[in-house]
């Protein structure tokens, strides 16, 4: 096992770890925090991810207040919880009004501040305070941000400039977020945040990726977006690089070969960055000792020797994807199928596979995505022929926002003078406009599922919950204001709650943290009255026979108890997809599970 030690000096005070979901941002952010704390520096580690798992990785309680690690005195943590931030924000808006307006008016204002935009700006408001020092970050030598998946991160980083302009043009406050006085940070403080993020002496961005095409493309996109924002101090961290130790294991050799090829072909943007490789390990990096092993080859080998000598039963049989599609189409010619889960677990390939198999079986199918980092076309382009009855679309936030702004400007601006039109356009620059625009497109796709199959690849967990929150807010508003019999109204939210119409598929990996994150998402959905239909466990090494490589055998062995827990305790229906070593994943899956639909040629 070849190990690359870090020689990073950590000269910057603010360190951001960003990248596609599931690439190991949290692991490397935590390992870095432990490494710096071990060197005697005082470190604050902050998560801005709605689906944070800092607690699992660090092995210590993590809350919404700065808390010391129970076993490492120099390390402190805090999780910026979006819901708590939003509730505190609503309180700051409404408290000064209690002596002025009625309780009913206060309730209406709070309802108006219940959407995704409020959550976003409130979270950012908290985040910004740790850059300016208001969050007590001035007492720490280093502040590390374990950020949310890429789209969410970029949105957070774009907000300072957006709100700088918006607050300047709307000194009396914006209707979508309440009065600007409710923000803890002023316009001047936001300017300080932007300046700090652009200062290479203060801030370094670590782009975390895996040696796979979609992850590398996402890192390159992130790099360019950061450069466009004036944030150029970047490093590339390539996590999970596999090297076969048993040269007779064909699966191991193929995995190694694919990784080497994809690293050679990585985008030029990334090749110009200073980079460090981290090997794939035969154990989950949980707890201080294993976090320290990330930068310590001797410790890695010591832990690996112990881990690879302890093997569970490797195989745990589950139903496969063909059987899942059989159930989805049983007595149905349409309906909504949504893949949900944390970024990087394979939602897109699962959605693309199900849509293609349904189309091959003669159904009319729409395959679409609400993910800002959409990779559906990358997979569909792997097919020699896309079925004529399969339509592939993407709900593009920028396009949907432009169309929505143009529509509202035309409708509301026709009777306004030039100054009025200018003010209307300024108001439409609000960050919540994008959420509303995407929601309208999302609702149209749901309606189409009444007539055909609609397979929707959703965004990473945080995005999905924000989107569903917008849907729920819309539902409440409709039900409150309708003048007709409510029994005749069916909102998108009600359709998501209808298990006969909407089939929610939770996609996870056979690892502890992805399992817990999917379980947390399932609980959130259930609280909203949405019960997932099934779990799909992707990239199962335990579904491959005759593995020889000790590292792969250990990882396969570790999967069995996790899969058993999912099947026995978390889901009534559980399906798996084996770890596939083919470069073109979609054709490989289709060849496995679609043989009855496509005659051999």
For the chain, domains (ranges, CATH) are: 14-85+139-157+191-308 (3.40.50.300), 321-587 (3.40.50.300)
| pLDDT at residue 214 greater than cutoff 80 | no
Per-residue confidence at 293, pLDDT binned at 50, 70, 90? very high
Q: Binning pLDDT at 50, 70 and 90, where does residue 274 land?
A: very high
pLDDT at 321 over 90: yes
Query: pLDDT value at position 181?
Result: 56
**DSSP tag of 569:** I
Whether the predicted pLDDT of 465 surpasses 80? no
Whether the pLDDT of residue 168 is over 60: the answer is: no
Q: Quick one: tokens of 320?
A: 């496969």
Tell me, what's the pLDDT at 175? Answer: 45
Q: How confident is the model at residue 309 (pLDDT cuts 50, 70, 90)?
A: confident
Q: In sequence order, what are the beta bridge partners of 43?
A: 75, 142
Q: Given a cut of 50, is residue 278 above it in pLDDT?
A: yes
Cα separation, 125 vs 183, in Å, equals 7
How much is the pLDDT for 28? Answer: 96
pLDDT classification of 165: cutoffs 50, 70, 90: low
The pLDDT-based confidence of 530 (bands split at 50, 70, 90) is confident
pLDDT value at residue 501 = 93
Residues 164, 130: Cα–Cα separation, whole Å: 18
pLDDT tens sequence across 348-359 = 999 999 999 999
- Per residue in 220-240, pLDDT tens? 988 998 888 888 999 999 999
Between 257 and 492, name the one with better pLDDT: 257
The count of other CB atoms within 10 Å of the CB of residue 139 is 10
Give the other-Cβ count within 10 Å of 536's Cβ: 29
Question: What phi-psi label fits residue 546: left (phi over 0), alpha (psi between -120 and 50 degrees) or beta?
Answer: left
Please state the pTM of the whole predicted model. 0.74
Q: What is the mean pLDDT of residues 251-279?
A: 93
The share of the chain scoring above pLDDT 90, in percent, equals: 40
Res. 172: pLDDT tops 70: no
Q: How many CB atoms lie within 10 A of CB 12?
A: 17
Residue 116: predicted pLDDT: 59
Mean pLDDT of the chain: 82
Q: Average pLDDT of 297-311?
A: 87
Q: Tokens 């009004």 map to which residue?
A: 97
Edge-to-edge strand list for the sheet holding 534-540? 390-392, 365-369, 453-457, 335-340, 502-508, 534-540, 574-578
In this prediction, residue 493 carries a pLDDT of 76
C-beta separation of 502 from 496 below 8 A: yes
- Region of poorest pLDDT, from 133-137, 251-255, 536-540, 583-587: 133-137
What whole-number percentage of the chain has pLDDT above 70? 80
Minimum mean pLDDT among 70-74, 200-204, 521-525, 594-598: which range? 594-598
Lowest pLDDT segment from 144-153, 276-285, 467-476: 467-476
Q: With contact defined as beta carbons under 8 Å apart, do 49 and 147 qualify?
A: yes
Question: Taking the CA atoms of the chain, what radius of gyration do you get in angstroms?
Answer: 24
Averaging pLDDT over each range in 95-99, 165-169, 325-329, which range is the top one?
325-329
Q: Which of 227-236, 394-403, 406-415 has maximum average pLDDT?
A: 227-236
Q: What is the longest distance spanned by two Cα atoms in the chain?
A: 78
């Amino acid at each position: 096992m070849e190990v690359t030690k870090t020689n990073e000096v950590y000269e910057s005070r603010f360190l951001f770890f960003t990248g596609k979901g599931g690439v190991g941002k949290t692991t490397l952010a935590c390992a870095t925090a432990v490494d710096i704390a071990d060197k005697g520096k005082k470190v604050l580690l902050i998560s801005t991810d709605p689906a944070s798992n800092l607690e699992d990785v660090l092995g210590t309680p993590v809350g919404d207040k700065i808390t010391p690690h129970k076993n490492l005195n120099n390390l402190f943590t805090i999780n910026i919880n979006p819901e708590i931030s939003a509730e505190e924000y609503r309180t700051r808006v409404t408290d000064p009004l209690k002596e002025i307006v009625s309780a009913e008016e206060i309730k209406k204002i709070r309802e108006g501040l219940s959407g995704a935009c409020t959550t976003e700006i409130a979270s950012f408001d908290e985040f910004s305070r740790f850059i300016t020092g208001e969050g007590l970050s001035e007492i720490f030598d280093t502040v590390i941000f374990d950020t949310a998946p890429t789209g969410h991160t970029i949105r957070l980083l774009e907000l300072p400039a957006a709100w700088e302009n918006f607050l300047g043009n709307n000194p009396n406050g914006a209707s979508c977020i309440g009065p600007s006085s409710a923000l803890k940070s002023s316009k001047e403080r936001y300017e300080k945040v932007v300046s700090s993020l652009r200062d290479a002496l203060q801030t370094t961005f670590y782009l975390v990726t895996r040696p796979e095409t979609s992850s590398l493309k996402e890192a390159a996109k992130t790099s360019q977006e950061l450069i466009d924002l004036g944030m150029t101090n970047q490093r590339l961290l390539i996590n999970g690089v596999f090297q076969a130790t048993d040269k007779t294991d064909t699966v191991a050799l193929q995995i190694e070969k694919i990784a080497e090829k994809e690293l050679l072909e990585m985008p030029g943007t990334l090749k110009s960055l200073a980079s460090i490789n981290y090997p794939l390990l035969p154990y989950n990096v949980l707890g201080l000792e294993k976090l320290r092993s990330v930068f310590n080859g001797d410790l890695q080998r010591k832990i690996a020797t112990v881990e690879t000598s302890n093997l569970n039963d490797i195989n745990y049989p589950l139903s496969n994807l063909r059987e899942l599609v059989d159930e989805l189409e049983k007595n149905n010619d349409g309906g909504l199928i949504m893949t949900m889960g944390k970024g990087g677990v394979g939602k897109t390939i699962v959605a693309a596979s199900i849509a293609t198999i349904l189309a091959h079986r003669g159904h009319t199918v729409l395959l679409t995505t609400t993910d800002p980092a959409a990779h559906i076309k990358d997979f569909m382009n792997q097919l020699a022929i896309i079925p004529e009855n399969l339509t592939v679309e993407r709900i593009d936030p920028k396009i949907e926002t432009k169309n929505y702004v143009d529509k509202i400007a035309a409708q509301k601006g026709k009777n306004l003078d030039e100054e009025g039109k200018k003010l209307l356009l300024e108001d439409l620059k609000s960050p919540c406009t994008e959420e509303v625009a995407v929601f309208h497109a999302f609702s149209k796709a749901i309606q189409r599922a009444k007539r055909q199959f609609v397979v929707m690849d959703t965004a990473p967990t945080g995005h999905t919950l924000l989107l569903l929150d917008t849907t729920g807010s819309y539902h409440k508003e409709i039900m409150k204001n309708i003048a007709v019999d409510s029994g005749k109204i069916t909102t998108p939210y009600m359709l998501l709650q209808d298990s006969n119409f909407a089939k929610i598929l939770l996609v996870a990996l056979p690892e502890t943290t992805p399992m817990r994150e999917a379980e947390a998402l399932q609980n959130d959905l259930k609280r909203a009255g949405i019960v997932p239909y099934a779990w799909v466990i992707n990239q199962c090494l335990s579904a491959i026979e005759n593995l020889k490589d000790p590292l792969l055998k250990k990882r396969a062995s570790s999967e069995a108890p996790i899969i058993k827990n999912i099947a026995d305790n978390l889901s009534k229906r559980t399906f798996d997809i084996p770890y596939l070593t083919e470069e073109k994943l979609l054709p490989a899956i289709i060849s496995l599970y679609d043989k009855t639909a496509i005659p051999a040629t």
